Amino acid sequence: MTTDEQVDSLSLKWGTLKSWDIHSETGKALLKRYDEIGSSMSAMAQRDTPEQKEIICQLIDGCAGDIYLDWDGVYVSKEKAKEYVRNYGKKIMSDAQSNEQQGMRSEQKRKWLSALRSGKLAQGNGQLGSVSGGLCCLGVFCLVNRIPFNSEHGGQSKGPAGLFAALTYDQRAQLWHRNDGMSGFPRHSFAQLADYIEISIPCVDDIGAGFAEFCRATLTALKDVTP
């Protein structure tokens, strides 16, 4: 291999492609197929199909060296990178399913809305945050419901099990995007977020249904508010 020969490389975040520099014809064909299936401009909003996950794994195999995990800031072997892509989200779902709660309770929601509308908490973005440095709306949920959390975590794919048990991945994503003004959403104030939560996220003990029905009710509500 000559020193000026271009090789394929990529990085991963949120269990999917974060960035890539693909030169091989095989890699370009794989990326084309990946886009044809459907992709988001934001890695955080991307929901890969099983076929897309396998395409990413094939892209990883075509890279020259180790793969960079953007969230953790480390390089890992190709096998570890493929394991990361294939298993991303499974542990989160397992944590939520093993928790007896599985859905937000009305008392949790009442405390959350009250805190968001109180005007007493500074709003932050990019991570769950802290009272002194500013909290995102998911950080407020953890704070008022006494769920221990790491202030540097974002709450969508990294965060406390109690948060994952109360809110689904899509619910957390919708709230984070609105809190931070991402993925086409204008940035929402805490008061605006409280209004959104009140009408869009049901409680398991309000609707008197199982977790599957709770998720279906949430998806129905989101149809009217997703841009």
Res 37: pLDDT: 87
Span 120-174, pLDDT tens digits: 999 998 888 888 889 999 999 999 999 888 877 765 545 567 888 888 887 888 8
Residue 81: which residues within 8 A CB-CB, separation 6 or more? 12, 60, 66, 67, 69
Nearest to 32 by CA among 52, 60, 2, 14: 52
pLDDT at 107: 93
70 falls in which pLDDT band (50, 70, 90)?
confident
The structure tokens listed for 162 are 């109690």
DSSP classification of residue 132? T
The number of residues making up the chain comes to 227
pLDDT over threshold 90, residue 194: yes
| Statement: the pTM of the whole predicted model exceeds 0.75 | no
Give the pLDDT confidence of 15-64 residue by residue, as tens digits: 899 999 999 999 999 999 998 888 766 666 677 888 999 999 999 999 98
> For the CA atoms of 57, 58, 63, 69, what is the dihedral angle to 10 degrees?
-10
